[in-house]
Structure 1
Amino acid sequence: MKNEMPNKTCIMLVDDDSSILQTTAMILEEEYNVLTCSGGKEAIYKFDDTVFTVILDINMPDMTGLEVFEVIKTKNQYIPIVFHTGYDERERRIDIRRHFRPHAYVVKGGDPEQLLDTIAGAVESYKNILENVKLNKTLKERNKLIEEFNRSLEDKVKRQVEEIQRTSRLKKYVSPQIAETIISEGSDRYLVNARKLLTICFSDLKGFTEASERMEPEDTVTLLNEYFSEMTALIFKHGGTIDKFIGDGILIFFGDPINYENNAERAVRMAIDMRKITQELRKHWLEYGSSNIDICSGINTGYVTVGNVGSEAQMNYTVIGHQVNVAHRLQLEAKAGQILITASTLKGIENMIEVEEIGNVKLKGINKPMQVYSVIKYKGISCGQND
């Protein structure tokens, strides 16, 4: 018999003894919808997904309960099956549990409450299993969607990784404003290897090495950080690109990644401002006993190679070439507070700055003497060089 009680959980009761089948069903029907079967074949035929637990007799004429167990488990591996049998021999129970692993083994004729408790535990266990199965199915579906989504994005992400790396590097070299402009325009054409006409500036602190020998390490670091912070702000203000910090020196270039029409003018204006700010900082550096520190700069304009140089583990966006070496040698030649420039840098800005002609100078490591000028001031503006 099958009672239609939609609010109750359905369980299956299988027994070939009609009196036991009826009596047991009456006990269970207070809590469950009981689907009764008088034999194993009937149970296999009627079993479906609405059943939450099977109570199964073992000794039946058409099929044994053990045979029914194996068939039902092939249909639903998770369904709890409780053996309800007259077999009370301990060894027999142990053997059945070892080989078939039922949810429970209940002897007929025992306390009805024991049977009810056992079935309640089986039903609750199956509900938890179904919930877990449902959750796992949902997770698998979501994971599948995520995998498909990731696959569709893989190429796009791969293309963007290099872009992100380039823009991250970019923000280390140029001002945030320039970086944002480049990023908004698309940076594929920026930070690439090329030969370009640039203006190169080397600046260095004269007297810093000697002063640092008398300073505490903490004071040395504080002084340098203060100096570099001020210089970085000036470099970005004038549109320069920081190549690298070298000890107490800085290598800067103009014309890449943004090319201006007045790269040389920007470089000279920057050097003048750097000299002025450094002289203001010197008053503060007296606290460290470092009044003799001053800046010197060398500026040159010419064609150089600019791009990413290094290894896969470490890359730097830098400038290399003869014209870079010239700027460096100029800086080494410069005295404290002096800004030395070449004729190629002066060309086109002669009317903007006042210079002192140094003449042909043989720079170390440079074969031919070069015409060198010392920047006195930006016309109409005193540039702060020591007399």
Structure 2
Amino acid sequence: MSAQPEGRHRMPGVDPYPEGTEGAGEGAPVVLVVDDLEANRRLLEAVLSPRGYAVRLCGSGEEALEWLSDRVPDLVLLDVLMPGVDGYEVCRRVRGDERTAYVPVVMVTASGSEQKLRAIEAGADDFVTKPFDQSELLARVRSLVRVKRYHDTIVRQAVELTAWNRELESKVSAQVEELERVGRLRRFLSPQVAGLVMESGDEGFLASHRAEITATFCDLRGFTSFAETSEPEEVMAVLADYHEALGELVFRFEGTLEHFAGDGLLVFFNDPIPCPDAPDRAVRMAVAMRSRVGHLAEGWRRHGHDLGLGVGIAQGYATLGRVGFEGRYDYAAIGTVTNMSARLSAVAQAGQILISQKVAARAGEDVVTRSLGPIELRGISKPVETFEVLGLDSARSPS
């Protein structure tokens, strides 16, 4: 059994594809011819089919409406006077259906002006007067089919544009969400670490958890008196240089930045990304910070500002996770270890890096220290064995 052409399904009592319509190619404009006289239908078919139109023939208004119930032609050639449902009613129903509202309708009329007026009122686009002139008929059909194809193109493009806009809005929304997520992560993570988290898509580390970290706290000696006696613009300029210098080093050593608070800065290692050399990395970062701030301090002294960096580093367990509220979150470490690093920093002199015994024991072999013995620290119940970092000795570094 041979396959039927696409879309050629017969409706009960209707033969919308009679003989003589097989010659039109795929995609040919479809013209629905509606006339109760078979001779007229065949004549119109004989004129249109050789010109590449796919002609569909219906012998009554009822048959035409049934055919149109699930098909949309490119043009309707419609006889006015037919028994039953006449051409005016068919035209009104074509215009009343949103699927076919823009299909061109050409009414085939006698010469009476009254019929043309009623046809206009019913929604007809054009007229062909019986007996019709072939050239005139073809010109009208060709022009209106072109208009219909333009309309179809506009509708298709509007649908595509709507779909494209929805897709674009979805992409923009996703990108904005992603940028906001990246922004949140980069508030406290180095770009390298934030990139790893973004690639994995896992923000589970933001939930509260416990981990051993190496906490590094630093601030400027003499900053309080400097801020009290200087103009606000001078204070802001010093802080801008200071933050830029230290922030670049935090990112280079891939530390987790907990916060900037004026001249105070807290960084920790080994969370959220595991860092087996956390104590050594923290000390190396602190040495680099001391050197960087030393260069800045030379410039500050020329302006009469006596400022120097003090650093404290401690090792211990803390509870870590996201704190804050919707739209303003930070990543915090809560525990004695952060307090100890801050207290060590507070007793450090300008240019001093003070570390706890755990940090000294786990730092690299090339870290040169000297013991300061037990030191009483405010808020810490027992004296803390404290070491001062003198520098890094490359000769002692393992090969």
Q: Give the TM-score band, short-chain normalised.
A: 0.5 to 0.7
Matched residue SS, 1:242: strand
Q: Following TM superposition, by how much is the alpha carbon of 1:28 offset from its aligned partner in structure 2, in angstroms? A: 7.8
CA distance in 1, matches of 2:362, 2:278: 11
Gaps of 5+ in 1: 151-156, 382-387
Q: Following TM superposition, by how much is the alpha carbon of 1:111 offset from its aligned partner in structure 2, in angstroms? A: 8.7
Matched residue SS, 1:297: strand
Pair 1:119 & 2:141 matched = yes
1:293 paired residue among 307, 326, 329: 307
2:335 match: 321
1:248 and 1:82, CA in 2 relative to 1: closer, same or farther beyond 3 A?
A: same
Matched residue SS, 2:318: strand
CA distance in 1, matches of 2:291, 2:256: 20
Pair 1:97 & 2:120 matched = yes
Aligned length in residues: 359
Matched residue SS, 1:292: coil
Between 295-304 and 100-109, report the one with greater CA deviation.
Answer: 100-109
Q: Following TM superposition, by how much is the alpha carbon of 1:295 offset from its aligned partner in structure 2, in angstroms? A: 0.7
Identical aligned residues as a percent = 27
User: For 1:185-200, what aligned pairs fall within 5 Å after superposition?
Assistant: 190-200=205-215
1:69 and 1:197, CA in 2 relative to 1: closer, same or farther beyond 3 A?
A: closer
CA distance in 1, matches of 2:356, 2:328: 33
Pair 1:80 & 2:104 matched = yes
2:284 match: 269
1:385 match: none
Amino acid of the residue matched to residue 282 of structure 1? Answer: A
Q: Following TM superposition, by how much is the alpha carbon of 1:296 offset from its aligned partner in structure 2, in angstroms? A: 0.9
User: For 1:25-104, what aligned pairs fall within 5 Å after superposition?
Assistant: 40=60, 44=64, 52-60=74-82, 64-66=86-88, 69=91, 77=100, 79-86=103-110, 88-90=112-114, 93-98=116-121, 100-104=122-126
Pair 1:370 & 2:370 matched = no
Alpha carbons 1:195, 1:304 under 8 Å: kept: yes
Matched residue SS, 1:102: coil
Alpha carbons 2:75, 2:105 under 8 Å: kept: yes
1:71 and 1:222, CA in 2 relative to 1: closer, same or farther beyond 3 A?
A: closer
CA distance in 2, matches of 1:278, 1:171: 23
2:13 match: none
Alpha carbons 2:184, 2:329 under 8 Å: kept: no
1:222 and 1:16, CA in 2 relative to 1: closer, same or farther beyond 3 A?
A: same
Q: Following TM superposition, by how much is the alpha carbon of 1:211 offset from its aligned partner in structure 2, in angstroms? A: 3.5
1:24 and 1:263, CA in 2 relative to 1: closer, same or farther beyond 3 A?
A: closer
1:126 and 1:334, CA in 2 relative to 1: closer, same or farther beyond 3 A?
A: same
CA distance in 1, matches of 2:389, 2:159: 78
Amino acid of the residue matched to residue 319 of structure 2? Answer: T
CA distance in 2, matches of 1:367, 1:38: 99
Amino acid of the residue matched to residue 314 of structure 2? Answer: N
1:235 match: 250
2:349 match: 335
Alpha carbons 1:356, 1:376 under 8 Å: kept: no
Gaps of 5+ in 2: 1-18, 395-399
Q: CA deviation digits over 1:277-325, x for unaligned, max 9?
A: 21122223345x1541111122222221122222243322221123322
Q: CA deviation digits over 1:142-199, x for unaligned, max 9?
A: 99xx9xxx9xxxxxx9xxx89x987765555454555566777886775553222222
CA distance in 2, matches of 1:47, 1:362: 94
CA distance in 1, matches of 2:271, 2:45: 89
1:72 and 1:303, CA in 2 relative to 1: closer, same or farther beyond 3 A?
A: closer
Alpha carbons 1:204, 1:295 under 8 Å: kept: yes
Matched residue SS, 1:59: coil
1:70 and 1:232, CA in 2 relative to 1: closer, same or farther beyond 3 A?
A: closer
Alpha carbons 1:10, 1:52 under 8 Å: kept: yes
Alpha carbons 2:355, 2:389 under 8 Å: kept: no
1:257 and 1:88, CA in 2 relative to 1: closer, same or farther beyond 3 A?
A: same
Q: Following TM superposition, by how much is the alpha carbon of 1:329 offset from its aligned partner in structure 2, in angstroms? A: 2.7
CA distance in 2, matches of 1:374, 1:27: 105
1:81 and 1:262, CA in 2 relative to 1: closer, same or farther beyond 3 A?
A: closer
TM-score where L is the length of structure 2: 0.66
TM-score where L is the length of structure 1: 0.67
CA distance in 2, matches of 1:47, 1:166: 56
1:249 match: 264
Alpha carbons 2:356, 2:385 under 8 Å: kept: yes
1:208 and 1:139, CA in 2 relative to 1: closer, same or farther beyond 3 A?
A: closer
Alpha carbons 2:109, 2:116 under 8 Å: kept: no
2:15 match: none
